Structure 1
Amino acid sequence: MTVEGSLTNTVGFLLGKLGQQANGQFADRLAPLGLRPRHCAVLELLAGGPRAQLELAKAVGVTPSVVVDMLDELETLDAVRRVRDTADRRRQLIELTSTGLDLRHQTLSLARQNDEELLSAIDPTEVAALRQILGRIAAATGLVEK
């Protein structure tokens, strides 16, 4: 069988394997901060302003109970706080603290380091083209906004 006919040469397989490697390396970088990759999505979403727990769960793509666990972990790090919604006292909003904002900046720096390591085999022009192409694919599949 030729390499062209191999499962390991499909885009999905290669992206999956590279994603596993990148996620593992990113997790290693985050560990000293007490964070995991799944926390980064929450920090990023909250950077846009306070959100309800249920809204966060939907945006991250996890069950409400999982987002509660994630928020508990982030609250332990003083990265987020729960506050009552002034418009609906029955609802809690989650907001980023100054520590959370700092952690978000640190995670971005670590993600960039991860990218540099992962993309070190290609030149800057290829990196820019890859980012553009991956962005278009992600937008077309609904993973990110267009």
Structure 2
Amino acid sequence: MPRPADLRFRATTAFQRRIVNPVLRRLPLQTLLETTGRVSGLPRPTPVGGRRVGDAFWLVSEFGGRSQYVRNIAADPRVRVRIRGRWHTGTARLLPDDDPVARLRTLPRLNSAAVRSLGTNLLTVRVDLDR
């Protein structure tokens, strides 16, 4: 029998992949993280919530290493981030030693609440933006 965390992961990712993400990707001011697909090599834009602080963009993945974009980052850390309609290139870093719950307190409230309530394996991601 599947564990509750597995059921939550499967239900949440299916809902996001089929309904939420296609809609959010079309919104011009939605923040997007674009990774390169580790198998296809194609650009993979994912709506995310986070915040730019100086030359870094911070976010927290709700499913850690199970998230497709985190797996893509592990294979190729070069990414693009669309912030307020403008694209920025950068290098993503997975930060397993960072406290993701504390990090969420510094990020946008609505997204942080959703990540905390739905997430099962939080992981902080920092994108060092190119100048």
TM > 0.5 fold call: no
TM-score range, shorter chain: 0.3 to 0.5
Which structure ranks higher in relative contact order (CA pairs < 8 Å, sequence separation ≥ 6)? Answer: 2
The structure whose residues are more often strand, as a share, is 2
- The TM-score with structure 2 as length reference comes to 0.36
- The TM-score with structure 1 as length reference comes to 0.33
